[in-house]
Amino acid sequence: MGSEQRLQILNGSAYVYPDLTVVCGLPCFNETRRPETVLNPTLLVEVLSESMADKDRSEKFTLYRQVPGLQQYLMLDSQTPLAELYTRQPNGY
C-alpha cells in the first residue's frame, strides 16, 4: 500500500502514514476510523529525505515498535545509496 494508507499505532493513540506498507495475507482495517486505517502491517518502508530523516529514525521508529505484527522496518536514504533494515527478534525487540 502506498503513502496514502494510514496506519494505527497499538492503542489508537497515534496514526502515521508510512511511505510503503506491506501486509502478508489479508489486510485488517479499523473501519470505524476514516480514512480506513490498516492494523496489521508486516513491513514498513520510509524513504528518508533530508528534512524528515531524523523524525523517521526516532519518533516514527518508536511508534512503529508498538505495532504488534510488524516484523521489519526499512529506511531508504534518498541522498546516498544506503538502506537500513531492522528486523524484530523472537523476543519481541
Percent of the chain with pLDDT over 70: 98
Q: Tens of pLDDT along 32-56? A: 876 789 999 999 999 999 898 999 9
Q: How far apart are CA 39 and CA 92, in angstroms?
A: 18
Q: Tens of pLDDT along 59-81? A: 999 999 999 899 999 999 999 99
| pLDDT class of 11 with cuts at 50, 70, 90 | confident
The residue ranges of every structural domain in the chain are 6-87
What is 31-79 written as a DSSP string? TTSSS-EE---SEEEEEE-TTTHHHHHTHHHHHHTT-TT--EEEEEESS
DSSP code at position 35: S
Nearest to 68 by CA among 32, 40, 38, 29: 40
pTM of the model: 0.88
Cell (9 digits) for 79:
541522498
